Amino acid sequence: MSESVIVVENLVKRYKELIALDHFNLDIKKGEIFGLLGPNGSGKTTTINCILALLKFDKGSISVFGEEMKPDSYELKSKIGVVMQNVAVFDELTVYENIDYFCGLYISDKKLRKQYVEEAIEFVDLGEFKKFYPKKLSGGLLRRLNIACGIVHKPELIFMDEPTVAVDPQSRNKILEGIVELNKMGATIIYTSHYMEEVEQICTRIAIMDKGKNLAIGTTDELKKMIKRNETISIEVLEIAENIISLIKELPHVYEVTYEEKMLKVLYSGGKHNLIRILDLLKNEGVSFGRVYSERPTLNDVFLEITGKELRD
């Protein structure tokens, strides 16, 4: 097994009567892009702030790179980069000056700092914007500046909290490619996002948390095996009788059938050749149908089944 970069054991954090983290556990290995998912209010931000020693907790332990994390663990914190959801740069400094300032917090050697700043600018492709002030940058460019400021000192561990929120598809793709490249260069990355397709695309392992607890953890494929749904077949049908819907419900592995707005949707808990069976049934019963879709569960399906579909604040 790879060595652990972060180990969280039985973490409890209370805000008066509210239990934000309820005996929460986490073990993140070196070299992972680890997705931390959860609905609003699930405890993700509290977890990150506790790991970074920005919040005191009531019970449990946290170690980073094998050492206890404390507010004054400055040498430990120098190995960490943080890219938070809210853009945190100085409006009165240019792109270059912003990145240079954040680099200077960790790198005192002027020659090395200049090298790191230039490499960070090249990495996020902001070369032609070096003399621009943040207010002149688009949302996507601001996000890339935010990332450059967080990773310029070449940290071994990087926290990325919703780094692609509210950016255009081109900027989002550039940011995701950059995250994968950082990982290839040796960084361990903790990634939070509400864009499930991003997490499914880049994360090696994923934890789904809610109400301060870790509900499920594993690779995307492992998480998909934890839920009931194995396949969804959708068929365009102009008209279908109730007795035929009853026959469909009796097919192997079918656990839910709905028919709304001329769309027949059949959910399966497993099995093979499900599509062949249902199409044969419809043909034998003389039911005309149009387009047919067969879909395997997505990470979004897993997330909703594990955390529920009710709206969160």
Q: How far is CA 209 from CA 12, 172, 238, in A?
A: 14, 25, 41
Q: How large is the average pLDDT for residues 131-152?
A: 95
Do 96 and 158 belong together in one domain? Answer: yes
Do 175 and 284 belong together in one domain? Answer: no
Are the C-beta atoms of 33 and 189 separated by less than 8 Å? yes
Do 122 and 269 belong together in one domain? Answer: no
Check residue 171 and give its pLDDT: 87
Assign 234 a pLDDT band (cuts: 50, 70, 90): very high
Residue 207 has pLDDT above 90, yes or no: yes
Do 9 and 154 belong together in one domain? Answer: yes
Do 178 and 237 belong together in one domain? Answer: no
Domain count of the fold of the chain = 2
Q: How large is the average pLDDT for residues 125-154?
A: 95
**pTM: predicted TM-score of the whole model, two decimal places:** 0.89
- Give the containing element (helix H, strand E) for 10: strand 4-15
Residue 125 has pLDDT above 70, yes or no: yes
Are the C-beta atoms of 188 and 32 separated by less than 8 Å? yes
Could you tell me whether strands 33-37 and 205-210 are parallel, antiparallel, or unpaired per DSSP bridges? Answer: parallel
Do 253 and 113 belong together in one domain? Answer: no
Q: Is residue 34 domain-resident?
A: yes
Q: How large is the average pLDDT for residues 1-20?
A: 92
More confident: 84 or 199? 199
Are the C-beta atoms of 237 and 262 separated by less than 8 Å? yes
Assign 44 a pLDDT band (cuts: 50, 70, 90): very high
CATH code for the domain of 281: 3.30.70.100
CATH code for the domain of 94: 3.40.50.300
Q: How far is CA 41 from CA 19, 20, 82, 268, 313, in A?
A: 11, 8, 20, 32, 8
Q: How large is the average pLDDT for residues 111-130?
A: 96
Place of tokens 């929460």: 24
Residue 292: both structure tokens together: 């047919």
Q: Is residue 312 domain-resident?
A: no
Q: How far is CA 196 from CA 40, 105, 120, 303, in A?
A: 14, 34, 27, 9
More confident: 313 or 232? 232
Cβ contacts of 109 within 8 Å, gap of 6 or more: none
Q: Is residue 304 domain-resident?
A: no
Encode pLDDT of 248-259 as tens digits.
999 999 999 999
Do 214 and 236 belong together in one domain? Answer: no
Residue 123 has pLDDT above 70, yes or no: yes
Are the C-beta atoms of 35 and 206 separated by less than 8 Å? yes
Check residue 312 and give its pLDDT: 67
Do 12 and 98 belong together in one domain? Answer: yes
Do 119 and 246 belong together in one domain? Answer: no
Q: How large is the average pLDDT for residues 234-252?
A: 97
Residue 15 has pLDDT above 70, yes or no: yes
Task: Give the domain extent around 272.
Answer: 231-296
Assign 313 a pLDDT band (cuts: 50, 70, 90): low
Are the C-beta atoms of 16 and 166 separated by less than 8 Å? no
Encode pLDDT of 277-310 as tens digits.
999 999 999 999 999 999 999 999 999 999 987 7
Check residue 23 and give its pLDDT: 96
